[in-house]
Amino acid sequence: MELYNRQYTVMKKIKNETREKYYEDQLEEWDLIKGNKSAAAAAVGWCDGRSNQIKRFQSLLDIGVERNDSVIDLGCGLGHMVEYFEKIGLKVHYTGIDTNERAIKQGYQFNEATYIHGTVLDIHEKYDWGFASGTFNVGFPKSEMIGAVNQLYSNVNKGVAFNLLKRPEWFPRWTSNKEGNITYENYTPQEIRTCFKGNISIVENYGVENDFTVYIRKD
């Protein structure tokens, strides 16, 4: 199975100062660095609480993760996903990667896991599964999202799972924050099906209204 990317053949390193500044501002506003775990979802455009974040994590894991599988979590933030693995008693080999160094450092204080400070291009090992939860919500244009998924897919053995903000058919392509300097990217499931070829599945109706999960398996 082969993924294709209509605009990127080589994923260039993403350096988006506006996006980074926005996330830093959210860390401060939601007191994330001081340990307010419920703030992580809000920092990427989800303001519906930690219980729905858990539903999103479970939807990602339902792609087929098994005990002792290796996982790379793109845009891991504080590493809340590894905490969820521990909560449900599923032992995996977890690695989180994020461009925000402050969040990475705080993640070390929350749990014992492997973390990488960098982008998808800084993944140099093979993992069984690649995940991205909320990673593409804020200031991440469609072309970059496709390129990042493509690159992530090249670094896994079994498949990738990621979630996206869901857009009704009649809704504008993007919405902006109150300052107008950052956009929340949103999609329809039908639109995402046109972005990738191969063994792609769309999962909806897992108890969260405003997003959906995408599976792309290597089988």
What integer pLDDT is reported at residue 214 of this predicted model? 98
DSSP state of 183: E
Predicted confidence (pLDDT) per residue in 198-214, tens digit: 899 999 999 988 899 99
What integer pLDDT is reported at residue 217 of this predicted model? 97
Q: Confidence class of residue 53 from pLDDT cuts 50, 70 and 90?
A: confident
What integer pLDDT is reported at residue 16 of this predicted model? 45
- Is 70 exceeded by the pLDDT of residue 108? no
- The distance from CA 198 to its chain's CA centroid, rounded to whole angstroms, is 20
- Is 60 exceeded by the pLDDT of residue 186? yes
Q: Confidence class of residue 94 from pLDDT cuts 50, 70 and 90?
A: very high
**Radius of gyration for the alpha carbons in the chain, expressed in angstroms and rounded:** 16
- Is 90 exceeded by the pLDDT of residue 197? no
Q: Rounded to whole angstroms, how far apart are CA atoms 187 and 164? A: 7
Instruction: Tell me if 96 sits within 8 A of 62, measured CB to CB.
Output: no
Q: What is the mean pLDDT of residues 62-87?
A: 93
What's the chain's average pLDDT?
A: 78
Dump the DSSP string for 9-29: SSPPPP--HHHHHHHHHHHHH
What integer pLDDT is reported at residue 21 of this predicted model? 55
Predicted confidence (pLDDT) per residue in 132-144, tens digit: 999 998 878 899 9
DSSP state of 121: G
- The two structure tokens encoding residue 70: 């290796």
Q: Domain 39-143+158-217, what fold?
A: Rossmann fold (3.40.50)
Q: Rounded to whole angstroms, how far apart are CA atoms 124 and 116? A: 11
Domain ranges of the chain: 39-143+158-217
Question: What's the Cα-to-Cα distance from 23 to each of 43, 75, 138, rounded to whole Å?
Answer: 6, 12, 9
Task: For residue 10, count CB atoms less than 10 angstroms from its CB and return exposed for 0-12, middle for 13-18, buried for 19 or more.
Answer: exposed
Residue 202 three-state SS:
strand
Instruction: Tell me if 123 sits within 8 A of 72, measured CB to CB.
Output: yes
Q: Confidence class of residue 38 from pLDDT cuts 50, 70 and 90?
A: very low
Q: Confidence class of residue 17 from pLDDT cuts 50, 70 and 90?
A: very low
Place of tokens 């009704």: 168
What integer pLDDT is reported at residue 92 of this predicted model? 95
Q: Rounded to whole angstroms, how far apart are CA atoms 208 and 203? A: 11
